[in-house]
Structure 1
């Protein structure tokens, strides 16, 4: 059983799908499913050096679409080697290339054409067409969908989703969305390293003034979609009347235009500015130390397909304070591993109010439920078995 995963980039800075691939491949190998990855990255990229699975990297020669003229010929020569191809994400050359190669192979009467599945990772969410100030981008996507992407999706053998909410939302974005089959395969992450002082020490080297202080952790891209601005405003507002845990905003993007706006927003309130820490992107021990050291994880995102960091927090036994636009919010609420509210200033104030208003016994109980929700719903072993049964049984 052999899978080829096709993705635009394996760069961790680009978001969760590449991390999901890295999580799944070792677990699938344990149950007899081998995986290779095809991506549109420079083969010399630093982030490809430590992966212990085969990666076929094609450096794009045209960045906006990540076009590479050698990709379709390579696919036509090698697709027969695989039983299944999973296309991760849309709107880039990689999904078009697979579809084009399959069409050409069928015309030649080729045998052993693999099954093709699309895994959109939230890229069919209506948020992409409704977000304020994105009219031109939404129009480009609408045009691209109707002339190219709709055929890739509808001709595939199926569309794979990480959760039921993502599956339902995909149905309302485009009228010409008619996949052959929709499958909620779930998603999962690896068991985190055991809690150890070396992990928290690694994190505190990035935030030395935080040692010994309680804090809430935001760990994601510093991006307008993530609701960082309303998180800061809610924090500033509540801090006028009470002492709050410190706030850590970790992740890439602080040096972007939006990131500079966030810095200015933090500076605008001297009362709380020293209580908000911005360590940048955290990796490996730093990241796990941040999870283990926090009181709770918070993500008031305006749209989040799955939220790997949310599940990483659950795996560390940390309650999650999330918006109802994080697509796994129903599962979180069902297991009692966190608190859910709307993605608005009022909603974030409610999240902070509710969490800080809990007693120690209630917080401890929620921590146990957070860990249990990971074990029952989001472990990588459960996801790997489900994916294998879906694709090969």
Structure 2
């Protein structure tokens, strides 16, 4: 098959689905499929990708919507070269432009929502939600309505998407999502990380990897860590990620106010061996997000055999909890503090078993091969069966209530 993925940007510094798109694309290429990317980036802003060709149509207009007059003509001219077009995300012109170009085309298009219909945004940003309502009926509603399939990356995301807008119509499908198996030469990677950060050698490291953003619950983690840090002088928190909103200064001030500055390291965005070394050096990964559609970084931690301490707003929490690959709590200060205290209270044998279970959970649910398989099933018209490893947990909770 020849597949075209349409995204607002292929720059990994902005987060979003690009890493998953690239990894799945490379997997599909190894199986003989052709995969290309179309973005609204300026050509000089796109790094060369040896595996996946990128068609960059920018520069686009300033502002978050990124209007680009070249998109619709390009798709109308070139879409017939592809067997399917796959649109990633909403609320940018790339989605509405794809609908304009393809709604009457013989080439089917599919939409991965990537958590952008989660009702958390409606609750947290009501004015922005009202603004979206103004163009939802004539834009993104139609994008979903006319798609061959609207694809969710877990069952929880599919359920939540129906709560954001009263006007909603889509042919839904749930696809597996995951990532390539992380490098497993743990000792070499760990030593490389400690060579970059020698002061961390010998510490018990708790690791956060992701954007330093309000949505990620970074402030909760800083305060929760400050509350438990006195229990063990070797405990240290690594907050790794880019600061896209200027929040880092506030987080540093918070840490200083709580007396935890010397116990927290802010290495910025980690990539390549430095990132994998941080995972292999950590004893647990922490993500207390207020909203997380999937959390590819959670899958990466599991792939490194690192237990994950996550909030119940990370949509794959059921899979994690059922596999005993980590701990789950609400996305509150009390919940985050509870995660850390529960982890620290586990005996060494239980922590070791959780590391084994973390790796098993990755192999069972979150590999890039499973991700590629499920996409091909959807494109062939066979909707994959949603994974349900957490249903027993959910039923048990329901019975308890």
Q: TM-score, normalised by structure 1?
A: 0.93
Q: CA deviation at 1:196?
A: 3.9
1:83 maps to which residue? 83
Distance 1:211 1:22 in 2: 33
Q: CA deviation at 1:142?
A: 1.8
Give the total of aligned pairs. Answer: 380
Q: Does 1:268 align with 2:267?
A: no
CA-to-aligned-CA distance 1:310-334 (integer Å, 9 cap, x gap): 0000000000000000000000011
Look up the SS of the partner of 2:267 in the other structure.
strand
Q: CA deviation at 1:239?
A: 2.6
Distance 1:388 1:186 in 2: 11
2:238 maps to which residue? 248
CA-to-aligned-CA distance 1:27-72 (integer Å, 9 cap, x gap): 1122332211000111112x52234211100113312221121111
Distance 1:308 1:116, change over 3 A: same
Contact 1:16–1:308 (CA under 8 A) maintained in structure 2: no
1:96 maps to which residue? 96
2:178 maps to which residue? 188
Q: Does 1:292 align with 2:254?
A: no
Q: Which structure 2 residues correspond to residues 218-257 of structure 1 after superposition, within 5 A?
A: 218-243=208-233, 245-253=235-243, 256-257=245-246
Q: CA deviation at 1:75?
A: 0.5
Q: CA deviation at 1:147?
A: 2.7
Contact 2:224–2:336 (CA under 8 A) maintained in structure 1: yes
1:311 maps to which residue? 299
Q: Which structure 2 residues correspond to residues 47-66 of structure 1 after superposition, within 5 A?
A: 47-64=46-63, 65-66=65-66
Q: CA deviation at 1:242?
A: 4.7
1:24 maps to which residue? 24
Distance 1:118 1:333 in 2: 29
Distance 1:392 1:31, change over 3 A: farther
Q: Which structure 2 residues correspond to residues 119-134 of structure 1 after superposition, within 5 A?
A: 119-131=112-124, 134=125
Distance 1:248 1:51 in 2: 32
1:154 maps to which residue? 145
Q: CA deviation at 1:137?
A: 1.7
CA-to-aligned-CA distance 1:176-218 (integer Å, 9 cap, x gap): 1111x11111101001112244322332344331012110000
Q: CA deviation at 1:240?
A: 4.2
Look up the SS of the partner of 1:318 in the other structure.
coil
Q: Mean Cα displacement is larger for which, 229-238 or 313-322?
A: 229-238
Q: Please list every run of at least 4 consecutive aligned residues from structure 1 whose deviation after the TM superposition is greater than 3 angstroms.
A: 240-244
Contact 2:252–2:261 (CA under 8 A) maintained in structure 1: no
2:133 maps to which residue? 142
Contact 2:204–2:283 (CA under 8 A) maintained in structure 1: yes
2:10 maps to which residue? 10
Distance 1:164 1:60 in 2: 36
Distance 1:51 1:263, change over 3 A: farther
Where structure 1 has 5 or more consecutive residues not aligned to the other structure, the ranges are: none
Q: Mean Cα displacement is larger for which, 134-143 or 301-310?
A: 134-143
Q: CA deviation at 1:346?
A: 0.5
Distance 2:186 2:313 in 1: 33
Distance 1:44 1:198, change over 3 A: farther
Kindly report the root-mean-square deviation, in angstroms, between the aligned alpha carbons of the 2 structures: 1.5
CA-to-aligned-CA distance 1:259-288 (integer Å, 9 cap, x gap): 211011011133x21110000000000000
Distance 1:235 1:40 in 2: 40
Q: Does 1:323 align with 2:311?
A: yes
Q: Does 1:201 align with 2:196?
A: no
Contact 2:102–2:108 (CA under 8 A) maintained in structure 1: no
